[in-house]
Amino acid sequence: MLVVRPASIEDADKVYAFQLSHRLTALRPAAWRQFWLSCPFRTQFENIPLGWLLENGQQVVGVLGNVHMLYELDARHLKAAITSGWLVDPEHRNGSLQLLNAYFQQKGIDLWLSDTANATTSKILTVLKVERIPAPEYDAPLLWPIHTRAFASAGLRQRGVPAPGLLGLPVGAALKAVGWFKYRNERYPSQVHKVKFFDERFDSLWDRIRAASVRLRAVRTSSILQWRFQLELADGSAVILVHGDDELQGYAVLLRNFREHLRLTVSDVADLQAVNDNPIVLKDLLLASMHVARERGADALKFAGGQGTKRTVALSLRPYSYRTDDWQLFYRAAGSDLSAALRSRELWDISAFEMF
């Protein structure tokens, strides 16, 4: 008989073993515990589960993570739960909905977010009439080729073209000729600097960002940013770029990832913020990101999402784009007033910052 129960810190070893059995990249138990124990708003989510386990007797056959996050909307504080790592053994897929029901039935939450839905999850959430996050063009990520041959080979591999490595050389040469590299070779912006951690300047920056416009945003104080990116900063896969010196005007966080199925190293713009979405600051941060991606051996720079000015500025730098096969972003809000307000696409500012 399949039973769902809340996960706790003590389940770290079980979660790790289950994920490894599916050949997934998994946090080691010590890192998993540290992630939860160091959460800066842990006491505010004291009675909210870390996730749920689907068990068949004493055996774990499914997991669903429940990441805690604070949001703000027009001075209103919202407690959000973000799905993470929804995974069930194939022979027990009939229990998948038990995990999802536990997630949506949890108490004390204002906002439920699922922002990494795959093809199967997307279909399930659509059938259940969970609302799509109205983030236009989120299914069209923007990419800037850094190493054209690797980028071209990945594109050919994605389309199932035979001998992608061999064909990558002439296609890569063609990419250089179309002008996508015009901005890659611009001088590094003098106002942009690398920093090693999130200091108190980010607290002042966050106050100015949220005061400048009314949007639904995950809270980004220095302690929350440090917690969110602690693992990537520890293993060296993250880079923090800031615009300004004593008083910051914006920042970008880059995460280096290897896409196994494409054999492509990508530098993801995981977070991009500027006071009042200043287009000059945003452009400088993206240009600097291109330079850093190249320095760190990435084959491409990627930016997903970006509302309004952010996307306009990114598009001005002539990226390559493509459409994903399935919609990844879904939400449910507590109360009809909040649900109605969030149907406005202008209110959303969502990025890889919220993706776990």
d(CA 311, CA 115): 19
Q: What pLDDT, on a 0 to 100 scale, did the predictor assign at position 171?
A: 43
Residue 351 makes CB contacts below 8 A (sequence gap 6+) with: 269, 270, 271, 272, 304, 305, 306
Q: Read off the DSSP letter of residue 260.
A: T
d(CA 326, CA 348): 20
**283, two tokens:** 């452009």
The secondary structure of 175-196 as a DSSP string is: HHHTTTTTTTTSPPPTTEEEES
Q: What pLDDT, on a 0 to 100 scale, did the predictor assign at position 169?
A: 42
Q: What pLDDT, on a 0 to 100 scale, did the predictor assign at position 11?
A: 97
Query: Tell me: domain 2-132, CATH 3.40.630.30, correct?
Result: yes
Which residue did the predictor score with more confidence, 123 or 243? Answer: 243
Q: Has residue 313 got a pLDDT over 80?
A: yes
Q: Read off the DSSP letter of residue 348.
A: B
Q: Has residue 170 got a pLDDT over 50?
A: no
Residue 76 makes CB contacts below 8 A (sequence gap 6+) with: none
Fold agreement between 2-132 and 142-322? yes
Q: What pLDDT, on a 0 to 100 scale, did the predictor assign at position 212?
A: 87
Query: Tell me: domain 142-322, CATH 3.30.365.10, correct?
Result: no
Q: Please, what is the Cα angle at 112 between 109 and 114, to 5 degrees?
A: 155
Where along the chain do its domains lie?
Answer: 2-132, 142-322
Q: What pLDDT, on a 0 to 100 scale, did the predictor assign at position 156?
A: 64
Q: Has residue 65 got a pLDDT over 90?
A: yes
Q: Across all residues in the chain, what is the average pLDDT? A: 89
Torsion angles phi and psi, residue 143, rounded to 5 = -135, 140
Q: What pLDDT, on a 0 to 100 scale, did the predictor assign at position 56?
A: 95
d(CA 40, CA 38): 6
d(CA 235, CA 326): 31
Q: Has residue 219 got a pLDDT over 90?
A: yes
Q: How many CB atoms lie within 10 A of CB 245?
A: 10
Which residues on neighbouring strands pair with residue 145, listed in sequence order? 300
Name the band, by pLDDT with cuts 50, 70 and 90, for residue 36.
Answer: very high
pLDDT tens digit string along 191-205?
A: 999 999 999 999 999
280-296 as b/e: b if 16+ CB within 10 A: ebbbbbbbbbbbbbbee
Q: Has residue 43 got a pLDDT over 50?
A: yes
